[in-house]
Structure 1
């Protein structure tokens, strides 16, 4: 059965170069004791996945689903079903949500199995972030609704990052800033953070101003949502009030934009957070910028830190209180597009890589 596990890969050093490899199927007979074979159903693909690829070597994203050089498999969030099992606690037919390859199959080695989840304890994943190694069973997930699988895939991984950023900023009292600026403000993670800041502002009293920085073509869309107080095009950075104390959360990964912000606000840039790489090809720029030194925000690391401080259950409960109202808001404007097959997946990847996917569109892919 050749080509029974078509697998989408990209060149780790040249993201424009991609292919669908006709890999042979993994059979139940190949499983070792304690292993499980997952049949990948469908998965979401967003600019966040481009970030995984752009930062693949730095944050070990290529290590989750190894491929033969020069190829790399971009991790995605999606749903799969247990197709075969040699683990007594993980029966065939169970549906789950988690980190998957862009393929039809995945072999895992479940550990720490509970009613709600398991951890993939495969040797090559032992040193990787725990948050990416956990698989949740849908039948015991209180947030799971079958009709909302698309929104869960598209939003939950991004909104966890949005939530952790929101928590981080609040814990630090927004670094005493009067304004928070979000670059790549139409990206789903930025929109999630903006919604959370807006949703909780009355009880917090901060931040005073939530400002969106986005491309000219997205300004109307971003303004229509009402998540931001001010929407500014990248070309108009110099029109912002430079005397306003500011925190920057950079989702764009564009060195020139970041430099412009720092030079404009100078010492009034009180904190600068680097989150994504939506504009992955423009990450250069000045290293010695005025104002606060930019700091990379790594969501899984912050989750582990906060989990130890307030408990994972409390952290998840805090997230759940924001998840429901945000999903209700997003449902009003997001258009979900589903595509299937190697050629269609490749086209969706290229469109996302080139920044051609509209911000109100959510892509769901299937190999």
Structure 2
């Protein structure tokens, strides 16, 4: 028996390879999971772009002599337990969680409960619990067999978006809403799923004016969602007055765009860096006027709110927001996301190239599987 991994070169994300390895026997306490399907979006490109800075490469390390040069991009999706030597985790169980782009994953479950478990693999010990948790689909209140693809595509993005919205509100939108004015929230890469999920939450707050920034080709799509007060092409920044109090929520990671925004808006109150969909334009933040960009780390806000509210209330609030969002996304007359399935190594390679290049219809959600059948 073998397992196949899809690996990318860390310093050249367009360079990929498929590696087939023999499967070793499980040791006591381990389970082997068949990775059935996983979502692939701009969020995964962010994982790769920030792989070293944010430790994403550590979740599923590569073996071999050139292991430092290559990495496996993590992805959210579903798997089925194929073999188990762990009491309490049965063969055939369906799990939701964070997987390697591979046909199989070996986990070491601990803190096994009716809801799920954590992976206790030594190389993941220092990594955040949010990414090490695996949920049993049979007991997951957010799981719906009929919408698994939307869950894989949107659930992790939505959690980040929900926490961004909460973070901004928790900080009173950094003073941009004082004096009864509406604070302008500038969201780049507005067609990306994390951005429009964030906009959907911010749009419910009357004190904010949510402006989407995107490429000219994606303006109509972003307008069709109904969650942005205005949608502007990147070249249209001059349509917003330079003395507008605003917050920049940067999903693109584009250095030229960041510079333009920092130089134009004299009352830029906060610059929040989320992702890096424009991988070829990523760079540092030196010599920028205004506030220094701060990288948003969703687990930190989640930890704060667990302390403020407790786990039960946190989960209840998130679940209510999630169900409301899925209702928006799944409007029969105008669905926000249309799912495309890609199966097999060649299809996965092609989908990675497509997403990395930022090509294609922003309404499409890619679900991948390295399994041939």
Common fold by TM > 0.5: yes
Aligned to 1:43: 38
Partner of 2:262: 262
Match of 2:18 among 8, 13, 20: 20
Aligned partner of 1:279 in structure 2 is 278
Aligned counterparts of 1:142 and 1:206: Cα–Cα separation in 2: 32
Aligned to 1:246: 246
Alignment correspondent of 2:106? 107
1:195 and 2:200 aligned: yes
Aligned-residue offset at 1:238 = 2.1
* 1:73, distance to aligned residue in structure 2 (A): 0.4
Between the aligned partners of 1:338 and 1:64, the Cα distance in structure 2 is 25
Alignment of 1:174-323 (within 5 A): 174-177=173-176, 178-198=183-203, 200-201=204-205, 205-207=206-208, 209-266=209-266, 268-284=267-283, 287-323=286-322
What displacement does 1:176 show? 2.1
Give the superposition deviation at 1:312.
2.2
- Structure 1 match to 2:179: none
Tell me the distance in 1 between the aligned counterparts of 2:83 and 2:313.
Answer: 35
1:118 paired with 2:117, answer yes
3-state SS of 1:320 partner: helix
Q: 2:344 aligns with which of 337, 341, 345?
A: 341
Instruction: Please provide the CA RMSD for this pair.
Output: 1.1
Return 5+ residue gaps in structure 1 as ranges: none
1:143 matched to 2:139? The reply is no
Residue of structure 2 in register with 1:160 after alignment: 159
* Deviation per residue, 1:140-178 (Å, 9 max, x gap): 011111011000000000000000001101111111212
Once the two structures are superposed, residues 310-350 of structure 1 have per-residue CA deviations (whole angstroms, 9 ceiling, x without a partner) of 21221221111111121122122311000101011000000
Match of 2:53 among 54, 58, 82: 58
Rounded Cα–Cα distance in structure 2 between residues aligned with 1:236 and 1:363: 30
1:23-34 equivalences in 2 (<5 Å): 23-26=21-24, 30-34=25-29
In 2, are the aligned partners of 1:212 and 1:230 still within 8 Å (CA)? yes
Partner residue in 2 for 1:356: 359
Structure 2: give runs of 5+ residues left out of the alignment: 177-182
Kindly tell me: are residues 90 and 285 of structure 1, through their superposed partners in 2, closer, same or farther at Cα, counting changes over 3 Å?
closer
The reply to whether residue 11 of structure 1 matches residue 16 of structure 2 is no
**1:282: Cα distance to partner?**
0.2
What per-residue deviation string (whole Å, max 9, x for no partner) do you get for residues 126-145 of structure 1? Answer: 01111000000000011111
Question: What's the CA shift string for 1:266-324, capped at 9, x where partnerless?
Answer: 2x001110000010110126512222221110111221222122212212211111111
Report the more deviating stretch, 302-311 or 163-172: 302-311
Shift of 1:246: 0.2
Contact 2:285 2:292 in 1 (8 A): no
Larger mean Cα displacement after TM superposition, 10-19 or 278-287: 278-287
C-alpha distance in 1 between matches for 2:299 and 2:190:
22
User: How far apart are the structure 2 equivalents of 1:143 and 1:156?
Assistant: 9
Determine the structure 2 residue equivalent to 1:77: 76
